[in-house]
Structure 1
Amino acid sequence: MDKKMSIIKWLLLVLLTIAITFIFIHYIILFIGIMVKNNISYQVNAIDYISMITSAIVTIWVGWFISKKLTENRFQKEFLIGDLKEIERNIHEIEDIFETSTSVDIMHISSKFSTLYSIENRFSETISIMNLSKNISTNIREVITNLYEKATDFSGPNEYTNKLDIPEIKKRCNDIIIETRTLIIKINSI
């Protein structure tokens, strides 16, 4: 079925090209006639009707095709951008935990990172499905892992935040946010 549709589209394109070529030649002949004879013919003939119909069909088809492609591309980009915004929101939540709490629970932090990894996995799989892996190279998993190693680097189930390297954790949070924003810019430029 798909092969038949592509053949039909190809044939329609060939027919439109032939019709437009004949119309173009007709108008060149009319233009030369105007320049040489210095008169304009106000008669409407069959080629003028064909020209108007062909122009209308081509204009409608081109407009539909362009709007369809733009809508499809924007819809696909919204999937990826939504995941990246969700990653950034989760990073802000993790950052807030370290800034506002006096102690950090390893289970709570691990739960947040589990969510981050699942969102990152969904993002990476979507890139693969959309065949964008050659256009978008990402090391977001690496920067999330770097933050995870630093944010969970304590011995017990709880740790006081004054014993943790909060500036380094903030720096790694910023690295992830910068990576997500860079990816959003790359996605929007595709």
Structure 2
Amino acid sequence: MKAYLVAHILLLPFLTFTVLAPFGFPLAGAVLGAVIGIVGCAVRYGAQFPPAFMAAQVLGVLTVTLVLLLGPGIRETDSLAIVFSFLAVGAFVSIRQGRPWTAELSAADVGEFAQHPAFIKSNMMFSVMWMLIFAWFAFANWQELSAIYRWVPMILGGVITVIGPKLLMRIGVKRGVVPPQK
């Protein structure tokens, strides 16, 4: 559960935008999301460049901010598609680097097990799942598909993310692949 809260804090730039944009405040959501992202990165990572996913999230919200400031009127669905495209690319880069973005979020719940190959492998799978969901969400928004086609995969991904790790841990402990957690 700690990981779930950490995830929402780290995803606050994107969440701020995706909550405010549909209520008619896309620019305010983008600016606020960008500020939260920049400050969050400065606090969490200091002078270091943030991990790929976090950097992509902030760049996505900044891009939407610039498009909204400079562009003639962009549709809400297009602005959501831009942000989700950046999230998909950030997830892809984190996977290619062998540092799945979900591992940073879920490590808080597992202590030393965060270095175990089974933990990394399962996070690779979750990161791939989210990369595909983000890419789908971007496509579905650009195509202006009905909300059910956009949000159902996101909701299912959330449920899998909450239930999946516990299930995988139980299976791993039973098979002796994963050491029992204290």
Instruction: Name the TM tier (shorter chain).
Output: 0.3 to 0.5
* TM-score under structure 2 length normalisation: 0.38
Structure with the larger RCO, 1 or 2 (CA within 8 Å, 6+ apart): 1
TM-score when normalising by structure 1? 0.36
User: Between Structure 1 and Structure 2, whose CA radius of gyration is higher?
Assistant: 1
